[in-house]
Structure 1
Amino acid sequence: MGKQASQYDKIFKENIEAVIPNLMQNILGITAVTSEELPDDIQHTKERKPDVLKKISDNQGNIFILHLEFQLIDEPEMVYRMADYYIMLVRKYKMPVRQFVLFLGSSIPKMEVKHESETMHYKFSLIAFAQLDYHTFLQSNQPEEVLLAVLANFKGESPKTVLQQIILRVEETTTGDLALKRYFSQLRVLAQLRNLGETLRDLAMDSIAKFVNIEQDAAYMIGQEKTEERIVRNLLAKMSLTVEQIADIAGVSVKFVQEVQQKLSIRE
């Protein structure tokens, strides 16, 4: 997904250590007594880099490897990728492995979570943020975790109301203007995953104007949207791809591709 995906990846890499303890407790159902960082590269005949890899001792006396992957795209072959990780981790560490894919997209993923054949039975756990109650993240005392509320289920609340709560909670849990500026910038990026960039921009003038240059942000988003539309137009015109494939390649939503497609059909 190019530059857009790298922005999301950067946010999770910056915030992951602050988020992991409560994420394990509240979302994965793991109460860790100790947690040990493990090397994030697994190499045998090929190299893999898991998003999160830790050795966990829980309150039940279990010791295991925790492997997490954050996923934006509903990847049809994710099960093979996770199985690949599983075999390499078991081979390297010789202990049980628990794997979770945390899906950050707005839809409910349809990817297969298990593979069964005559000689193999494999399964990983899939958690869709779109099904999680946003209050779970909003109640945290870690601003990095509060930000994740924008990716969760709003439980019937309007986006404006939820964004107001997130902004307030980030202010309550953050010390220092520099940190607050960083979190508001991250919120802007994450809000785009739910097509809430414009709502956030309109809503947050008073709250974040001193931390984020709204005019530059708006100009950037407009320029980005024009670039994305040009890419989608070229793919529609020159490639025999499905709407979903084009959305994946261009790093935009299926709805965005459909809107561009409709514009082209009207002009024709």
Structure 2
Amino acid sequence: MGKQASQYDKIFKENIEAVIPSLMQNILGITAVSSEELPDDIQHTKERKPDALKKITDSHGDTYVLQIEFQVADEPKMVYRMAEYYVMLERKYEIPVEQYVIYLGATKPQMPTRLNRKRMKFDFPLISFADLDYNFFLKSARPEEVVLGVLADFRGDSSEKALEQIIQRIEETASGDFLLKKYFKQLRVLAQLRNLGNNLKEIAMDSITKFVSVEKDAAYMVGFDKGEEKGEAKVVASLLRKLNYSLEQIADIAGVSVEFVKNVKQKLSADK
């Protein structure tokens, strides 16, 4: 889970600035009049790095520190971590603190959200991504938001239909080949959180040509066939046949080593 969690964390760090304004407005119910980035290192006796940290003045004239945490694991001790954040932020900025944890798992989170002790009472709002309507993300003009729809509630649509619409919308909103590659890769990673990898692979192979060219299919959707060495070899062989790319470019696209690509190329040459 460690490697996977770091992949999810990387995606949210890459997308967070584009996604936060819409999350604030439409999910947290915050209409910001002004927003100021705050340093994400909080250090007194220990260092903490919040996922998102901003100084907000909202439409009611209230000013406060806004902290948002994205959580993949159903962490039973999350309430202690959030309490630590709260005290450190309050001490550093000396203004009210508003906190939210957004849970990315598929199941209903069981983590406690409240402390009720004689000397301390604390709680934080917990929002489950799986309860959000994926159509909200499909309406976005930002691919960073669209890709997150795979973690939301498909509202009765089949996973195949939902994935097709997400793929189509990514293609409509991402500008340029590089960004298409980036967001399709993110979609592949996030789909694993919902055990939709196989569905996504089938749709990529059967339906993606409706949205992108054959070259883009090979270059961007290739990752859906990865996982085992046999699948990786098949993918690399397909790239070598279809694209006039360097070994380094193909290795980067397929997510394998240059040496692996060389071995596949040698095998292809020997089979001719």
Shorter-chain TM-score bucket reads 0.7 to 0.9
Partner residue of 1:100? 100
> Cα 1:103–1:193, aligned 2, differ >3 Å: closer, same or farther?
same
Shift of 1:212: 2.0
Indicate which of 187, 212, 221 corresponds to 2:227: 221
The Cα offsets for residues 133-158 of structure 1, whole Å up to 9 and x where unpaired, read as 11111111111001111000111110
Partner residue of 1:28? 28
The Cα offsets for residues 80-136 of structure 1, whole Å up to 9 and x where unpaired, read as 110010000000000010000000000010111110111211110100001111111
The Cα offsets for residues 24-56 of structure 1, whole Å up to 9 and x where unpaired, read as 001111011111111111000111111111001
Partner residue of 1:247? none
* Corresponding letter in the other structure for 2:204: A
Structure 1 counterpart SS, 2:155: coil
CA distance in structure 1 between the aligned counterparts of 2:136 and 2:98, rounded to whole angstroms = 22
Between the two proteins, the alignment pairs up a number of residues equal to: 223
TM-score, length-normalised on structure 2?
0.79
Indicate which of 217, 224, 235 corresponds to 1:209: 217
CA distance in structure 1 between the aligned counterparts of 2:167 and 2:219, rounded to whole angstroms = 12
CA distance in structure 2 between the aligned counterparts of 1:130 and 1:124, rounded to whole angstroms = 18
Structure 1 counterpart SS, 2:65: strand
CA distance in structure 2 between the aligned counterparts of 1:58 and 1:213, rounded to whole angstroms = 41
CA distance in structure 2 between the aligned counterparts of 1:136 and 1:122, rounded to whole angstroms = 31
CA distance in structure 2 between the aligned counterparts of 1:212 and 1:143, rounded to whole angstroms = 15
Select the structure with the greater relative contact order (CA < 8 A; seq sep ≥ 6).
Answer: 1
| In the alignment, structure 1 residue 7 sits paired with structure 2 residue 7 | yes
Kept in 2, the 8 Å contact 1:66–1:97? The answer is yes
The Cα RMSD (Å) is: 1.6
Structure 2 counterpart SS, 1:135: helix
Kept in 2, the 8 Å contact 1:177–1:211? The answer is no
The Cα offsets for residues 188-233 of structure 1, whole Å up to 9 and x where unpaired, read as 111111011111111012246243252x642x3235xxxxxxxxxx
* Corresponding letter in the other structure for 1:104: L
CA distance in structure 2 between the aligned counterparts of 1:217 and 1:161, rounded to whole angstroms = 17
Partner residue of 2:148? 148
Q: Superposed, which structure 2 residues align to 1:138-177 within 5 Å?
A: 138-177=138-177
CA distance in structure 1 between the aligned counterparts of 2:125 and 2:34, rounded to whole angstroms = 22
> Cα 1:5–1:167, aligned 2, differ >3 Å: closer, same or farther?
same
Identity %: 61
**Following superposition, which runs of at least 4 residues in structure 1 exceed 3 angstroms of deviation?**
none
* Corresponding letter in the other structure for 1:203: I
Shift of 1:171: 1.1
Q: Which runs of 5+ in 1 are unaligned?
A: 224-268
TM-score, length-normalised on structure 1?
0.80
Structure 2 counterpart SS, 1:204: helix
Shift of 1:175: 1.0
